[in-house]
Amino acid sequence: MRTPRPDGHPGLADATRGRILFGGDYNPEQWPEETWQEDVRLMKEAGVNSVTLGVFAWAKLEPRPGAREFGWLDRVMALLHGNGVGVVLATPTSSPPPWLGRLHPDTLPRDQDGRTEWWGGRQHFSHSSAVYRRHAAAITEDLAARYGDHPALTMWHVNNEYCTYDWGDEAAGTFRRWLRDRYGTLDALNSAWGTAFWSQGYGDWAEVLPPRRAHYLNNPTQVLDFKRYTSDMLLECYVAERDIVRRYSPHVPVTTNFMPMWAGQDAWRWVQEEDVVSVDLYPDPRDPFGAQHGALVQDMTRSQARGPWMLMEQAAGPVNWRGVNHPKPPGLNRLWSFQAVARGADAVCYFQWRQSRQGAEKFHSGMLGHAGEQGRTYQEVSRLGAELDRVGGEISGRHSACEVAVLHDWHAWWAGSQDARPSREVDPAEVVRAWHRALWEAHIGTDFAHPEHDLSGYALVVVPQLYLLTDAAADNLVAYVRGGGTLVSGFLTGIADEEDRVRPGGMDVRLRELFGIRTLHEWWPLDPGEYAGCDGFRGTLWSEEIEAGDAVAHSRYQGGELDGLPAVLRRGRAWYVSTLPEPDALRELVADVAAAAGVRPVLDGLPAEVEAVRRGDLLFVLNHGRDPVTVAVPGTHRDLLGRRRVTDSLELGRYGVAVLSP
């Protein structure tokens, strides 16, 4: 049954049809056809209902220029369909065949030093190459024409983890085109880039280049625009292929998979073009904050999707790309899968179905590992598949928004990460992570939002750091607080305008008024391991010499040059935190601000290692610890997983999960 979305395009619900999708990338081209039979048998046993086909199959589909080898794919599609496994069909355009690079070297990207990225790995395509785009469109068109109506097809997966940059000559041309669209004239570009500095004034468009290797620091606005442009070029590639597949199958949703917190794509912009938001997520099983990393990415993805989303890839066991690649201890794969479902995932999928025996990823786990069907990984995967199959219908499609929003913006991230800034120790993404962690540890559910979004539905807005703030965003924050919202902001917010020009007074005047700051005299960044004493806590990374106006000092610096000056300011419902408090202190601060805004934890009295998440009227309770716990859950509930009634108190074993329904 089709559930049209407001924009008239199909959505994830058209692919899930009330279930949770379970499966992964399937690369049958790496295996003899006999193996396919075994694959399908084991998929069925494991509850797999969806596979992603063809992500890296371009050379198999088009072994010579213009050739088409669809026979093998016809047979795989039919086999999967006959066995009730739906297909997310990929356009293979992220890894062109070697012949394309050999015949058309201009399809290969160049790095900042002008060096070519050759074939032999993957993702060796220039987003700007007209020849690449033509070949990508042609294979996409033929795939869509052939499989657009196929009964196995549930979704299109365009390309894979768009992430390439290009500083080459053809890219220089598309960069100029992009800049002309943005600025219109060279005068406007010169003004935006501040080229009066260091004799950089441009007199001819032909002089304008991507920010290639220079003797000393590149122009920061040029670098910022190059990041904007790169995201937009990749998006053009996505949209071109999306439009092709849409013509053949208007009722089939289209996605492309994001990397988590990936700097290369302005995800807020991208999701406007996607029918389904999907992400690949690989927390390190050894990372004590692996679950928080998962929660952050899931919160971000749900917020981008504004509803259910797809976990396109995770690992059933170890990955192969860390220095040391740890397996998942028993139960962790299930726990992290349900964590994603709790946060709105309606698809739990893996890279990849069957672990490869050759190639660069032969030591990356699969759902079916080298140990085969008796292996623990496959056994656990199969039990998870059965569980998701049993409870999926009661979960799929549900969505709830949170009362808190954390603001994050790619342009602010790009501008705030440039060279030659007050402290290289300040990584905007890590600052976001720190604030999200504080909320997570305080058991407060949170969404993410863009600074120009309508924030009026949120009781609390958290701004970890928005170094670059547009006028519209600054006005939005002020209006939000005027409208009754509570806002807390970290340091380095509102420093620069859209063109990375420092705001008069060193910080946007609207924000200074909002937070009751009369003068921001100086920043006092801290060295690694250095702390700023404050009453009640220690600050890290950063401190500031602020003269308060009509704000109240919630806490002050103690000792050192800033002794007695305000560290945390409050002016009504607006809070400003001029340092990064250590984690416990930041958690307490966030909990206080949330309480002042009337926001409560998801559940009271939760042990530190237990996470509670609401999805619709379901309550997911997840034990991230290795020891059994007892959790107070007032009232009577039905645990969908444990098939038990739970009254007031819930027992969870190591890595235990409960899904409580009223």
Order across the sheet with 657-661: list the strands. Answer: 610-615, 618-623, 657-661, 629-639, 644-652
Decide whether 138 or 163 has the Cβ nearer to ligand GLA: 163
CB 161 within 8 A of CB 94: yes
Decide whether 241 or 500 has the Cβ nearer to ligand GLA: 241
| Nearest position to ligand GLA, beta carbon | 280
Tell me how far, at minimum, the Cβ of 286 lies from ligand GLA, in Å. 16
Residues 6+ apart with CB under 8 A from 585: 536, 537, 538
Range 253-312, binding ligand GLA (CB under 6 A):
280, 282
H/E segment holding residue 615: strand 610-615
Q: How many residues bind ligand GLA (CB under 6 A)?
A: 9
HSE, side-chain direction, 13 A CA sphere, residue 639: 18
CB 412 within 8 A of CB 466: yes
What 3-state class would DSSP assign to 348?
strand
Range 156-185, binding ligand GLA (CB under 6 A):
160-161
- Please pick, from the candidates 36, 351, 557, 575, the single residue that binds ligand GLA as defined by CB under 6 A: 351
Range 461-480, binding ligand GLA (CB under 6 A):
none
What string marks each residue from 313 to 342 as x (binds ligand GLA by CB under 6 A) or -? x-----x-----------------------
Tell me how far, at minimum, the Cβ of 353 lies from ligand GLA, in Å. 12
Decide whether 364 or 443 has the Cβ nearer to ligand GLA: 364
Tell me how far, at minimum, the Cβ of 160 lies from ligand GLA, in Å. 5
Nearest to 547 by CA among 506, 497, 587: 506
Residues involved in catalysis: 161, 313
Write the CA distances from 66 to 59, 61, 69, integer angstroms: 11, 10, 10
CB neighbourhood size of 38 (10 A): 14
Nearest 5 degrees, angle CA 240-CA 242-CA 248? 115
Decide whether 119 or 523 has the Cβ nearer to ligand GLA: 119
Decide whether 364 or 554 has the Cβ nearer to ligand GLA: 364
Tell me how far, at minimum, the Cβ of 161 lies from ligand GLA, in Å. 5
Range 357-376, binding ligand GLA (CB under 6 A):
361, 364
Tell me how far, at minimum, the Cβ of 231 lies from ligand GLA, in Å. 18
In this structure, what are the phi and psi dihedrals at residue 651, rounded to the nearest 5 degrees? -100, 130
Six-digit token string for 298: 């899931």
Tell me how far, at minimum, the Cβ of 181 lies from ligand GLA, in Å. 31
Residue that the structure tokens 């500083």 belong to: 167
CA–CA dist 411, 497 (Å, integer): 10
Binding site for ligand GLA (CB under 6 A): 160-161, 280, 282, 313, 319, 351, 361, 364
